[in-house]
Structure 1
Amino acid sequence: MKVHHFAPDDLSAAFGIDMSTVTGLGPGAGWGRVVPGGRSDAHQHDEIEVFVIVKGTGELVVDGERTPVGPGVVAMFEPFETHVIENVGTEDLVFFDLYWRDPARAVRAAGAGAAERRRFGQRPVFVFSTPPTPNGDLHLGHLSGPYLGADAYVRFQRMNGVDAWHLTGSDDYQSYVVDRARRDGRKPAETAAHFSAEIAATLALMDIRPDQYTATDTDATYQDGLRAFFSRVAASGRVALRETPALFDAETGDYLYEVGVAGGCPGCGQPTNGNICEECGEPNVCADLADPRTRRSGEAPRRDDVARYCLPLHEFADEVAAHHSLGRVPARLRELAHRVFARPQLDLPLTHPSQWGVAPAEAGGEDQVIWVWPEMSYGFLHGIEALGRGLDRDWRAGAPQQDWKIVHFFGYDNSFYHSLLYPVLYKLAHPGWEPDIDYHVNEFYLLEQQKFSTSRRHAVWGKDVLSADSVDAVRFFLSLTRPEGRRTNFDPAVYDTVLRDTLIGGWQSWLNELGTRVADGYGGQAPDAGVWTPEQTAFLDRLTVRLAAVTRSLGQDGFSLNQAAEELNGVVEDVRRFTGAEYAVAGVDRWDDHTRTTVALELAAARLLALAAAPVMPRFAERLAAALGLAEAGVWPSTVELLPAGTNVRLTDAVFFRPAGTPEEAGV
């Protein structure tokens, strides 16, 4: 017999609390202690872990859900469950820890996906695509990134029974709106309203219809809510009005930031505008730019001190790291945080002298507005409240709830704001709230190997290519080529090739041929499967593998439209390869029952495609489902199923895609 006693002297710091190691028991084991008011770091791992509480009062936080614990409670954590133990009492919380590996169980847990592990169905899921700047319409670079990503994500979650909503709007108070208004001879409010409407119309052409679209300048309750949020931040005592260096136009005296000034990035040295570097993602405060130049004149600006509300961001490295342990945070963002917090000091202005924007209550009549990027952190909470009013849900921006799941889609140039600045602002405004946020980031989509750019008019505009005929092909191609983890290039000639050879020559040709086979051989109705060969059994298994792969590629943890598009096309390639071999005996009486099975499997593949393509290509999926006699493509498939025998199939003359430039509307 082996006996181990709790020994405080054996404890040392681990996972944010005190832990010891006990050997000789078989599984890994040890004692843990959490001091009053303390908590462990949020973490997950591949082992199964068991806590046996022996003393004290605490709470377990598992994927955002809290459970009270005390002496006699035994809690087991599955592989990859994010968990925290907190001491909410007045004495030490002591527990015994056991952990071991079960590779098969870990693989199952990884394959199940976060939607099952985190019980998304019991939580509201708010999926945000970064509000676009209304200084121009949306181009394919915009559409390929946050907007298509968030739309497909929400569609998939809803097919799995999750209460998920897509929220965005227009970021009206950007300095880029002022610049565009000046060039167009308009007032900023006119420019913002005009392009906000254009943006919403382009999203609709892309079959992206957010559940909440907030135009910040015209929303009746937005400004007061923003002021209240900023007052909470200021009242934290960590933000104060400080005199810090700034840049001014040497001729006009205009205060310079963002679009008004350019220079060398203090982080990577590449050319950048004020406040953020699109190349490395690091912020600047304009006064630290190398060789700065006023954008309008090209002349060197003058330096002077100006009073602004500033946040000492460098003091929050630990808070940001703890936040990054809770949700899905790609390594690219964690690496950015490492670089930013390596700086000895970063006093970040949260307000700027300007007449366009929302002045904080603390400004006292001074010509100063809340900077639009800190403003956006409130804008997300405001969007949730506005959505809740329409759904009769008691969601309030001033009282964010712990069960909210937030998912952000944005471009890498916005990474600093979303994943570093906003968690800090939430900590200051709502110290009792631990936001559970997943981050999905895309790189730049290039056109002719240069960045899409609204200001330089270097773009393919959404309205120029989107129509009822083209929207599914565009969504598929952007999903296939969008810049996930690396920059990619949009090539119109490659798009035309994919449309002609893959979607029309591959998908549509196969479906039409299948329709002809069903019409000629089975009177237009799905046949029942007959005798099965080993090859046919293997093909059914192959379709099952494809279903699992596309499910993972659209799920919470492994979301990738690149992979989803490849897997969808893989279904068609698999079935064409399979039928190319199996139909060698088509028409031979002896093998009729086997051929019937092949046709039934083809229809199973078509059914799978109709369901699995719905998040990426909703119109195509709906038309294909209708042609197969399915009620709707509304529920995500859990298995590959044969089409019920006797179902009327209308695929022979179905048109799902048309060559570019064909004016007729697609239909079946």
Structure 2
Amino acid sequence: MSIALSRPVERITRTPFRITTAPLESAGELRVGQLSGPYVAADVLARFLRADGRHVLFTGATADHATAVEARALRRGRSAAEVAAGFRAAIDADWQRAGITFDRIVRARRDRGYGRWLGTLVARLHADGMLATREGPLPYCAPCVRWLHGAHVTGGCPHCGAATDGTGCHACALPYDAAELTRPVCVLCSTPAEPLPCRRLFLPLERFREPLAAYWAALGTPERLTGLFAALLADRLPELPVGQPGEWGVPVPVAGHEGQRVDGRFEAAALELYGRGPDIGRPAPGETLHFGGLRDAVDHTVVLPALLLACRVPPEVRPRPRIRLSAAHGPGADRTWALDALNEFGSDAVRRHAVHGEGAARARAVLDGTWNHWLGQLFASVEELSAGRVPWEAPGGPGWPEHRRRLAHTVRLLRAAYGDGGADTFDPHRAVRLLDATVRMTQALPRAVELPQLAGQLSVAAALTAWAHPVMPEGARRLAGALGVPAGGPVTLDALTAPRPGTLVRPPSAPVFGF
């Protein structure tokens, strides 16, 4: 099956490295934990690879049709469309303020042609015999006169018993249907649900058991996902709902299922397909790394490949993404509103916290006490020793040759931490530690009293406009502006070069990092 989109996607077709992130429900503003989980880490990798000359496609999506959007609208007495549009704009602003540089964002409610594309996908799958109609019980709330699924219902996970909702369990992440929840309760009015018969479309996974098992065995996923795949294969593979009764979302264009909408988890996988481009059967990029939480990773490694199999996409062109799971604790647990943290601490501190887990306040304290303190002393020395301009002398002075050798070793480690060795070496937490070590080592040099010493420290500052840019782009750009050099160059030893001699150094009026 080949499903075309209606707009140019030349950039997509030539991209050898793709970075994907979990679709974000436009049902609320971003919290720091959500920002930390996939988005900042993915942006760090994208910035490093772009600076290194790699072709990168970094994509995100907003799940505007999520049932959480409708549930919030019902609680607030507003339309779901208003809620989705308002929070989508707020999310976009938070992403921009945090320096998240997507190449493409799929917005289900705003992208022209998306709804028609998704409806066509469902209709063709049904026509090809890939979907099955099942009639069975589904929770229903009589007082609200509403079918309960997705975010409209809470209950116990049928696999592990944890409290959850109809969208999926955050504890075990094993997929299930809302009809399988134990003790289902309506979210809106807290009334215990009653099961009523409902005819819906499903995508049966059991028919794809062998190719799915082979796909999972070849993925090389984290241990938690490997165990989840084993648990799925130990029993009959589930049937995933494709349609749900309701009023919010893309209509199911299949006779006998009028008044139903495409299920949220099915649509999350479809959003990924839509982001790939005009032909889902063309070869996938050379390498793909997906950032998200465990439940989202299940959508990406279970629902998405099943959908590709149902579309008869050949095995050789199916993407085999590496998965980077968001931490369950640390930054991922931070419930602070992202906008509040960004306004109070600045994007540098928030991004550091997102990948290092030190807390935004602590991150800014480190930046003030080390980075900004050293840069303030350096700017003062430039004014005192060289009339505010970069000296003509080459870097040198006591300890400089050994310091340069240490920095050469550091930048090799930094490149690996930024993902130079691929997904296996990507470790932004380690990158922050190496950057801090670079500043501390430079601070430990004898105070500049001669121009070669000054030139040496200026070369380190110039290097940080490239080396720190993936993690802290705002401060790196501010430092580059002060030194008269471009920001965001390749993370290499060549960046350890003093600015052009005679350049007027223009210290910013505010702190360089963490402002």
SS of 2:155 mapped into structure 1? strand
What is residue 53 of structure 2 aligned with on the other side?
161
Q: How does 1:514-553 map to 2 (within 5 A)?
A: 514-523=378-387, 524-526=389-391, 528-529=393-394, 536-553=400-417
Q: What's 1:602 paired with? A: 457
Stretch of structure 1 that moved more, 514-523 or 220-229: 514-523
Alignment partners' CA distance in 2, 1:399 and 1:468: 46
| Residues 1:434 and 2:299 aligned together | no
Choose which of 497, 501, 511 in structure 2 pairs with 1:642: 497
Contact 2:485 2:499 in 1 (8 A): no
Is structure 2 residue 389 aligned with structure 1 residue 497?
no
Structure 1 residue 276, shift from structure 2 partner:
0.8
Cross-structure match for 2:346: 470
Letter in 2 for 1:141: G
Give the superposed CA RMSD. Answer: 3.0
CA positional deviation for 1:525:
2.0
Pick from 303, 313, 322 the counterpart of residue 421 of structure 1: 303
Counterparts of 1:184 and 1:463 in 2: how far apart (Å)?
22
C-alpha distance 141-469 of structure 1, shift in aligned 2 (>3 A): closer
The answer on whether the counterparts of 1:247 and 1:302 sit within 8 Å (CA) in structure 2 is yes
Q: Which runs of 5+ in 2 are unaligned?
A: 1-11
Residues 65 and 264 in structure 2, CA contact (< 8 A), matched pair in contact too: yes
Cα offset for 1:467?
Answer: 4.1
Q: Find the counterpart in structure 1 of residue 377 from structure 2.
A: 513
Q: Shift of residue 182 of structure 1?
A: 0.8
- Residue of structure 1 equivalent to 2:150: 258
For residues 141 and 355 of structure 1, the distance between their equivalents in structure 2, rounded to whole angstroms, comes to 31
Query: How many Å separate the matches in 1 of 2:308 and 2:485?
Result: 46
Deviations 1:73-92 (A, max 9, x none): xxxxxxxxxxxxxxxxxxxx
Alignment counterpart, residue 567 of structure 1, candidates 420, 424, 434:
434
Extract unaligned runs of 5+ from structure 1. Answer: 1-119, 386-395, 453-458, 482-489, 588-594, 660-665
Match of 2:470 in 1: 615
Letter in 1 for 2:302: L
With over 3 angstroms needed to count, the CA separation of the structure-2 counterparts of 1:574 and 1:654, relative to structure 1, is farther
CA shift at 1:221, angstroms?
0.5
Aligned partner of 1:443 in structure 2 is 327
- Letter in structure 2 aligned against 1:541: R
Distance 1:544 1:328 in 2: 32
Shift, 1:243, TM fit: 2.1
CA gap of 1:121–1:654, structure 2 versus 1, over 3 A, is farther
C-alpha distance in 1 between matches for 2:221 and 2:62? 25
- Contact 1:126 / 1:384 at 8 angstroms: preserved in 2? no
Q: Does the alignment pair 1:247 with 2:129?
A: no
CA distance in 2, matches of 1:370, 1:226: 9
Structure number with greater Rg is 1
Q: Using a 3 Å threshold, how does the CA distance of structure 1 residues 363 and 127 change in structure 2: closer, same or farther?
A: farther
Cα distance per residue 1:405-443 (max 9 Å; x no partner): 543222223121112211111121142232242322213
| 174, 181, 192: which one aligns with 1:289 | 181
Note closer, same or farther for the CA distance 1:613–1:266 as it changes in structure 2 (3 Å cut).
Answer: same
Q: 1:225-279 CA deviation, whole Å, 9 max, x = no partner?
A: 1122223433453431122332222545532112222222222222111241112
Q: How does 1:271-282 map to 2 (within 5 A)?
A: 271-282=163-174
Out of 205, 209, 212, which is 1:313 matched to?
205
Number of residue pairs aligned between Structure 1 and Structure 2: 498
Residues 546, 354 of structure 1: alpha-carbon distance in 2 compared, 3 angstrom cutoff? same
Cα deviations across residues 159-197 of structure 1 (Å, max 9, x unaligned)? 111222332232111111111111111121121112111
Structure 1 residue 292, shift from structure 2 partner: 2.9
CA distance in 1 between counterparts of 2:414 and 2:13 reads: 20
Residues 515 and 650, structure 1, Cα contact 8 Å, conserved in 2: yes
Whether the 8 Å contact between 2:156 and 2:163 is mirrored in structure 1 is: yes
SS state of the match for residue 417, structure 2? helix
Q: 2:258 aligns with which of 356, 363, 366?
A: 366
Looking at structure 1, the residues matched to 416 and 490 of structure 2 have their Cα atoms a distance apart, in angstroms, of 16
Counterpart for residue 41 of structure 2: 149
Deviation at 1:142, TM superposition (A): 1.6
CA distance in 1, matches of 2:295, 2:70: 20
User: Is 1:337 the equivalent of 2:219?
Assistant: no
Q: CA deviation at 1:129?
A: 2.4
**Equivalent residue for 1:110?**
none
- Alpha-carbon deviations, 1:6-37, whole Å to 9, x = none? xxxxxxxxxxxxxxxxxxxxxxxxxxxxxxxx
Amino acid at match of 1:462: A
Give yes or no for contact 2:396–2:456 (8 Å, CA) kept in 1. no
SS at match of 1:470: helix
Higher relative strand content: 1
- Aligned: 1:227 with 2:109: no
Residue 194 of structure 2: aligned partner: 302
Aligned-partner SS, 2:225: helix
Report the CA distance between 1:124 and its aligned residue.
Answer: 4.1
Letter of the structure 2 residue corresponding to residue 210 of structure 1: F
Residues 211, 658 of structure 1: alpha-carbon distance in 2 compared, 3 angstrom cutoff? closer
CA distance in 2: counterparts of 1:366 and 1:160, whole angstroms = 51
Q: Secondary structure at the match of 2:105?
A: strand
Question: Structure 2: how far apart are the matches of 1:538 and 1:336?
Answer: 50
Contact (CA 8 Å) 2:242, 2:262: kept in 1 or not?
yes
Aligned to 1:123: 15
Looking at secondary structure, tell me which structure has more helix per residue. Answer: 2
Residues 1:397 and 1:371: Cα distance change in structure 2 (over 3 Å): farther
1:353 aligns with 2:353: no
Q: Give how far 1:317 is off.
A: 4.6
- In structure 2, distance between residues paired with 1:509 and 1:219: 47
**Aligned 8 A contact 2:16 2:287 in 1:** yes
TM-score by length of 2: 0.86
Determine the structure 2 residue equivalent to 1:109: none
Bigger mean CA deviation after superposition, 405-414 or 561-570? 405-414
Displacement, 1:369? 1.7
Moved more, 284-293 or 346-355: 284-293
Q: Secondary structure at the match of 1:361?
A: coil
SS in 2 for 1:307: strand
TM superposition shift of 1:640 = 5.6
CA distance 1:211–1:308, shift in 2 (3 Å): same
> Structure 2 matches for 1:70-89, cutoff 5 A?
none
Greater RCO, 1 or 2 (C-alpha within 8 Å, sep 6+): 2
